[in-house]
Chain A
Amino acid sequence: MELELLQGPPINKIIFYGVIIGYFTVVLGLGALFSTQTRTTKDFFFSGQRFSGWLIAFSCVATVIGSYSFVKYSAVGFRYGLSSTTTYLNDWFLAPLFLLGWMPILYYSRVTSIPEYFKKRFDERTRSMAIIFIMFYMVGYIGINLYTLGVAADAVAPLDKVVLQYFPGASSVDAEGVMTATKISRLIWATLVAIVGAIYVTAGGQSAVIISDLIQALFMLLAGIAIFFLGIHLLGANNPEHLGGFSAFWNGLPEGHRLPFSGFTQPEKFPMVGIFWQDFFGASMFLYFGNQGMIMRFLAGKNVNEGRRATYAVILLLMPLSALAVSAVGWIGRAMLTYDLIPKDFDPEHSFVLITARIVTNPLLFGFILAALTAALMSTIDTLLNASSAIAVNDIWKPFICPGRKDKHYLNMARIFSSLFAFTGLLLVPLYMSFNSIYVAHATFTAAVSPPLIATVIFGILWKRFSARAAFLTLFLGGILMGLSVKWPDLIKPLAALHGMEPGTGYNYMRALYGMLLCSTIAVIASVIWPNRNLADIEGLWIGSLDAAKRRFKGGVPNDREPGQKTRLRLVGTEQDIPDTAEALEKIIVSVGPAAAEKMKARTGDLVYICDKRWWLGGLHSVHATLAVDAVEEGVALLAPTAIKYGALRMGEDVTIEKTI
């Protein structure tokens, strides 16, 4: 990960501080706004499962793109051209398993975390191992993100002079003293972000995260696309052949840079075959099947179909746009090199900062780019804090430390854990500052645990014979074998050689495939020796039993073959209210007349979703309920006043109602 993020051109400090203060104010405001709507743990972790697909899609993009994405892919785009998009455009292959298997299983089984799935599908031992793997990854990653942010912010607005003034221990002006002041400056920035992140995630939960992610994603995509078009304009105005902007850009790229893929096994540091496997099993599969934060996004959707729509939007539309946004600077920079608009000895590692400074000359627009970078950093932190808290509460606190308490207690604990993880991440920052090897160790650990974790999830979804013992062995032995491949990379040599790679090259890229093959072998052998025989225990947790999951989710026979239509009704409060407790809010009943029910193809006992008629709110004002078809005046929906308040709906106004299942 590139850390020298914004070195180079002088940046207007007033704009920088204006952007930072403005941005922090907005996200803190969102936290305060959603704190009143967050009354249950379901609200805190899944926003009450009320959001529309488009909102979830943007939120996913914000989670995927980090600030390092701009820096990394600008450099990759400069070096290897349009093939930098490879990793953003190969996710569709996993879509069937995710859309038809994994997401419905989690949604209908009301599973809140990956370890909880392991507990239900396998056993406690397997869950414990998954908790260790996932928590180590996430807490370490919070620290890395805070460290990265500290370095980035310090590069733009160093506080070392302030530090030297107020911290006597760092007052020395020699090299060591200045270094200490720089470290403190970075730590101050990291602390500031940790505090802001902790406050708005703690207060607003997943709703604050998703809405702030929407803003962040829009900033990032618009900034990247704006840079691309400004770069095209610059090339059009400055090429010696007087070509139009896009022609100048296209002709300015070397022929090999215009293709969608790099060479099959070359260049050594970006071979297509290695990138494909590394990204497919190491990154994409982990993102969709093993990343708690990403999974919580999809589970925040109002129903499974909305999660599917979000996935279509992410993979088919937003990922290609993201690829353009994060790589554009590098592509433009390479074309600029062709026309001698930058020096021949230009270092691609700094392309994002230096090329952006050449392209974007307007200070306000540059401020917008800075806002996008800040957004990229914050959007990863907030997701990690919420996701870590979900595992801490649902997989550690609730089952082991304090079982059987009311939901209010767990909501309070969720908030405490969010803050605690921000603090823990902050404690790691000085470690990352002092020992680069810790950062490397974390990256290696993550690469090593991904294939065993993913293999266990995939076999768990697909194969009913895959037993608890087989799952544990896949995780345990798979982890060991992956560790051995780090120690002795020659273990991967046969796979690399099979693909025509030069001896000694490509091992890191082929490690994910090596891991998946070995873990799959372990899973199959162990399942043959110790097959799962308790099929009743895994009902609803593998693809052959989704009907059972749906029945359990609804508490009755699913009614989802005919989707029906949305219907618009006027919302009226019932005379009898319900208590304002998490338990009561799980059992809200809405009464409608027979005509409305017929339009929805729904009947009494079906689950429905009631939403404010303003679609652009994305489901912010909405609530789930069980339908009762009654002798109610047509055109009217009756709902308890507390439920109306809980869903932030407006009494007397129109709402749309649709059948969920």
Chain B
Amino acid sequence: MNWLQVIYQYTMGGIFFVVTLSLCLYFRAADLKNRSDKKAVIYLILGFFGYLIFHVVWIVLASPDR
């Protein structure tokens, strides 16, 4: 199965994702009072979980025990 791989990828990639997103918010590169910046941040978070769910569902569907 691929659970170790998905955990590893989303942990390592997730650390990079969260740290860089947090820095952008902290330094106001993304200003949440600006509507387009706010939308971008929401899309970023949705995209992250979208890909995660996509991979998890894929693994479940490809599972021989299903």
B51 near A276: Cβ-Cβ < 8 Å: no
Residues of B within 8 A of A315 (CB): 47
A316 near B50: Cβ-Cβ < 8 Å: yes
Q: Give, as a whole number of angstroms, the nearest-CB distance from A52 to chain B.
A: 16
Q: A259-B59, A543-B29 known; A312 and B43 CB under 8 Å?
A: yes
Task: Give A277's nearest chain B residue, CB to CB.
Answer: B12
A543 near B47: Cβ-Cβ < 8 Å: no
Chain B residues numbered 3-56 whose CB sits less than 8 Å from any CB in chain A: 4-6, 8-9, 12-14, 16-17, 20-21, 23-24, 27-31, 33-37, 40-41, 43-44, 47-48, 50-51, 54-55
A219 to B58, CA, bound (A): 28
A89 to B16, CA, bound (A): 16
Q: A543-B29, A563-B35 known; A90 and B21 CB under 8 Å?
A: no
Cβ-neighbour of A93 out of B6, B14, B55 (below 8 A): B14
B24 near A316: Cβ-Cβ < 8 Å: no
B17 near A93: Cβ-Cβ < 8 Å: yes
Cβ-neighbour of A546 out of B5, B28, B62 (below 8 A): B28
Chain A residues numbered 294-345 whose CB sits less than 8 Å from any CB in chain B: 305, 308, 312, 315-316
A96 near B44: Cβ-Cβ < 8 Å: yes
Q: Give, as a whole number of angstroms, the nearest-CB distance from A542 to chain B.
A: 8
B5 near A264: Cβ-Cβ < 8 Å: yes
Q: A260-B59, A560-B34 known; A101 and B24 CB under 8 Å?
A: yes
Q: Give, as a whole number of angstroms, the nearest-CB distance from A258 to chain B.
A: 4
A82 to B55, CA, bound (A): 12
Residues of B within 8 A of A96 (CB): 17, 20-21, 24, 44
A561 near B17: Cβ-Cβ < 8 Å: no
Q: Give, as a whole number of angstroms, the nearest-CB distance from A633 to chain B.
A: 30
Main secondary structure of the interface of A (DSSP, over half): helix
Can you list, as one digit per residue, whether each of A36-56 has a CB less than 8 Å from chain B (1) or not (0)? Answer: 000000000000000000000
| Size bracket of the B interface | 35 or more
Q: Give, as a whole number of angstroms, the nearest-CB distance from B6 to chain A.
A: 7
Q: Any chain B CB within 8 A of the CB of A365?
A: no
Task: Give B31's nearest chain A residue, CB to CB.
Answer: A561
Q: Give, as a whole number of angstroms, the nearest-CB distance from A286 to chain B.
A: 15
Cβ-neighbour of A94 out of B14, B16, B27, B41 (below 8 A): B16
A574 to B23, CA, bound (A): 47
Can you list, as one digit per residue, whether each of A542-564 has a CB less than 8 Å from chain B (1) or not (0)? Answer: 01101100000000000011110
B47 near A92: Cβ-Cβ < 8 Å: yes
Q: A92-B48, A100-B29, A100-B30 known; A261 and B43 CB under 8 Å?
A: no
Residues of B within 8 A of A312 (CB): 43, 47
Q: Which chain B residues have a beta carbon within 8 Å of chain A's beta carbons? A: 1-2, 4-6, 8-9, 12-14, 16-17, 20-21, 23-24, 27-31, 33-37, 40-41, 43-44, 47-48, 50-51, 54-55, 58-59, 62, 64
Cross-chain pairs A/B with CB under 8 angstroms, 19 sampled: A90-B9, A92-B47, A96-B24, A100-B41, A101-B20, A101-B24, A255-B64, A260-B58, A260-B62, A262-B5, A264-B5, A273-B8, A280-B13, A308-B36, A312-B43, A462-B20, A543-B24, A543-B29, A562-B35
- Known contacts A100-B21, A546-B29; 18 additional CB pairs below 8 A are A92-B13, A94-B17, A96-B17, A97-B24, A104-B29, A260-B6, A261-B9, A262-B5, A264-B4, A272-B5, A273-B8, A308-B36, A312-B43, A462-B23, A560-B34, A560-B36, A561-B31, A562-B35
